[in-house]
Chain A
Amino acid sequence: MKVVIIKYNAGNIQSVLFALERIGVKAIVTDNAEEINTADKVIFPGVGEASSAMQYLKERKLDQVIISLQQPVLGICLGMQLLCSHSEEADTTCLNVFEKVKVRKFIAPNNELKIPQIGWNTISHLRSNLFNNIPENSFCYFVHGYYAEETLEKISTTNYIQTYSSALQHNNFYGVQFHPEKSAKVGEQLLKNFLAL
């Protein structure tokens, strides 16, 4: 099985590579369209800023490559947000795979609720093969200052300040706001589930 991690100007690509290695999968990190198109599974990771990431993808025409993929695609964190329609982060038009889903900025009512959300929170209302053998209310590791609003395409929800979509699915495209590569055994199970799709 050929697993490709899309290389772009976002952080934490190495962590995804190491996490796959831990479950015995050797992935290729590349920005080559041919390599991405011929993969069995594509992972679109990322920690970073939305507008500069979108600009980078457009300059290399990776935006067109990503939206036309037919095989299972997993967006992680910023990767998931870029698959939405629009992000409030620098007013960025995104890839619109998760049509009409808007990414909004957390607004904290006081200093006791910190932004970004950093740490372990639960995922609920799980509704996808991506969550096979993962119990309701499992803990996952989150680091983010923006969130995808609740939508029909949600396959899990999380609550921080308000309830939001912590995972989304549309056809072959999956997105998770948390970091499976850093979410201990739950995250490993999710990566295995994705590779088994």
Chain B
Amino acid sequence: MNKPIRILYVDDSMLDRELVRDVLEREHSGFQIVEAKDKREFMTRLAEGNYDLVLSDLHILGFQGLQVLDTVKAQYPSLPVIIVTGTGTEEMAVEAMKRGAVDYVIKTPHHIRRLPMTIMAALAKQRLEEERRQAFEALQEREQQLRSLAESLEDRVRQRTEALQEKHEEVRRLASALTLAEQAERRRIARLLHDDLQQILYGLRVRLHVLGLDFSVDIAPGLAEHLDYIKESTERAIDVTRTLSAELNPPVLKGEELEAVLQWLVQHMHEAYDLMVHLKVEGNLKVHSEDKRLFLVQLVRELLFNVIKHARVDEAWVEAYSDKGWLIIRVEDQGVGFDPEKVQRRHWKNSLGLFSVRERLQLFGGRMEIDAQPDKGSRITIATPLEREIPE
């Protein structure tokens, strides 16, 4: 058995109340009627609460039917109200519906008899309304959940991305600190070689020279041979230390002009390694940072060493120019060439130079292109942003 439907019925006409109660309680057992005949009773009963529906006449002692409607809607917005009246006009009906009445019933025997159906329909409509509202709220809630989920996802992606970028930046800083440290160390060793070791060797050579002048070969036979040997070894030691210190820290790097730096390198490669390098520099290219000049010279030198070691020729071409904000340096030879794919796949020991060139270039936002084929020579192009300095 279902719970009875509790109805608060507000009407000052005893006759009407009986009529309605008769229809609702006697003919349809599912209703339980609580009656109020005036404003005071209505307020008291309403406060007791727990109704499924309110029926109200339009004219009650001390009260207007629409005020009943307003009071109910103010306290229980979802409690349905049906207006029952014997005198109402069409305008009144429209006004009642506007203010939230669920139906409007004329007090004729026919309509009163139909009241149970009207009430059931109002409740069904109310229930549907409630379900729709709940579904809508649930939908809104899900939407809110989804939105915040999406936001938190975005947040997490952003956080991860930031963390990754930070790591990347850190690695880049470390790598460039390492490169700078390496260059500082090179300079230190170059200074040691030049300032200490070479001076001792020069001094030694002058003494050997003076010794040769002061002692006659006649006095000590065989002395000349020893002296020549020592002189020759000293010369060799001087050559070795000079080459080494010049390679570690080329003196020409004090100037900003790339052409002068590359000319020094060309001359150096010719004198020290017998490699003939044809140089072509377009325009007045300047590299302001000494570190970057040293870096570029080291790169080009390594590429030229590759020509000597692997291309097995004694001639190479170096070209430098600027193109759309990039400084381009190209090193070419007509030697035995190689298969770039193979070199990249196998990580050959002797191709390490090329890989370290590429890695170090990336530190400066630069890149490298390898254009080579077996037996057709090789062409390596390196590009660095013109305006960018070494990262501090």
Query: Is chain B a partner of chain A in the same complex?
Result: no
